[in-house]
């Protein structure tokens, strides 16, 4: 997605060899107009897949997921990283190792929000080593729901997340794909239809 790549070039900063900071429009302050375009793009990509729910993980997956939910007119569920006292119902849970925080979180969704009749689009802000997306897929599997695909805002293609997910037979759609962050510069993979 050209607008997204331009925004990353203009406002993203590279930390070390493999982390991209985009807190000016995605992970802290949110560019709602860009998120709306991102939501519409996911809706277009999945219009023929009978999506009934969007599943993401707090916190930074929520903005793109909500705009996709608005564009597709379906509910959005975000997995929680910490159990809340009000979450006293039955839970679907999975363990996820966080790439940026370097801790393992048990993530959870209440069983009442996902059923075997659901067709899910999983959305997240970043795809690195795939642990967050695989955890969300696992929660959907526990509910017996069908995962129609994984929608990612920014994929770091030099890490192995995409491969792990594709190897499990899932579709992955990333709106920006980064080939490398070498020399503090963002190098994109640009696909034809982009």
Q: How far is the CB of 88 from ligand 5GP (least distance, A)?
A: 27
- Angle, alpha carbons 67-168-82 (nearest 5°): 50
Please spell the DSSP secondary structure of 28-79, one letter per residue. Answer: SS--HHHHHHHHHHHHHHTTTTT--EEEEETTTTHHHHHHHHHHHT--EEEE
- Least distance from ligand 5GP to the Cβ atom of residue 122, Å: 11
Q: Is 175 in the site for ligand 5GP (CB under 6 A)?
A: no
Q: How far is the CB of 58 from ligand 5GP (least distance, A)?
A: 9
Candidate segments 2-10, 28-36, 108-116, 122-130, binder of ligand 5GP by CB under 6 A:
122-130
* Least distance from ligand 5GP to the Cβ atom of residue 117, Å: 27
Does residue 155 touch ligand 5GP according to CB under 6 A? Answer: no
Judge whether 65 is annotated as a binding position: no
Identify which of residues 101 and 116 has a Cβ nearer to ligand 5GP in the complex. Answer: 101
Helices and strands per DSSP (H, E), number in the chain: 5, 10
Among 20, 74, 91, 165, binds ligand 5GP (CB under 6 A): 20
H or E stretch at 170:
none
How many residues touch ligand 5GP (CB under 6 A)?
20
Unique residue bearing structure tokens 């999975």: 94
Among 119, 117, 92, 118, CA closest to 106: 92
**H-helix or E-strand spanning residue 141:** helix 131-143
Tell me whether residue 98 or residue 142 sits nearer to ligand 5GP (CB atom).
98
Among 39, 130, 149, 151, binds ligand 5GP (CB under 6 A): 130
99 is a site residue for ligand 5GP (CB under 6 A): yes
Q: What are the backbone dihedrals phi and psi of residue 53, each rounded to the nearest 5 degrees, phi first?
A: -150, 150
| Residue 39 in marked binding region | no
The CB-of-98 to ligand 5GP minimum distance in angstroms stands at: 6
Q: Is 20 annotated as a binding residue?
A: yes
- DSSP codes joined into one string, 103-123: -EEEEEEEGGG--TT-EEEEE
14 by DSSP, 3-state: which? strand
Q: Using CB under 6 A, list all residues that contact ligand 5GP.
A: 19-22, 27, 60, 98-100, 124-132, 156, 161
């Amino acid at each position: 997605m050209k607008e997204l790549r331009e925004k990353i070039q203009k406002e993203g900063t590279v930390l070390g060899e493999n982390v991209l900071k985009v807190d000016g429009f995605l992970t802290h302050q949110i560019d709602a107009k860009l998120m709306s375009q991102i939501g519409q793009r996911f809706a277009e990509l999945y219009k023929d897949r009978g999506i009934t729910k969007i599943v993401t993980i707090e916190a930074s997956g929520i903005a793109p997921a909500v705009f996709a939910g608005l564009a597709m007119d379906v509910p959005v569920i975000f997995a929680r990283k910490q159990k809340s006292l009000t979450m006293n119902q039955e839970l679907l849970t999975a363990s996820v190792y966080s790439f940026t925080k370097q801790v393992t979180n048990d993530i959870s969704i209440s069983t009442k929000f996902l059923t075997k009749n659901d067709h899910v689009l999983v959305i997240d802000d970043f795809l690195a080593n795939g642990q967050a997306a695989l955890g969300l897929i696992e929660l959907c599997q526990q509910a017996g729901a069908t995962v129609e695909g994984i929608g990612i805002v920014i994929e770091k293609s030099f890490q192995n997340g995409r491969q792990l997910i594709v190897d499990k037979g899932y579709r992955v759609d990333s709106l920006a794909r980064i080939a490398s962050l070498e020399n503090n510069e963002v190098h994109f993979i640009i696909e034809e239809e982009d």
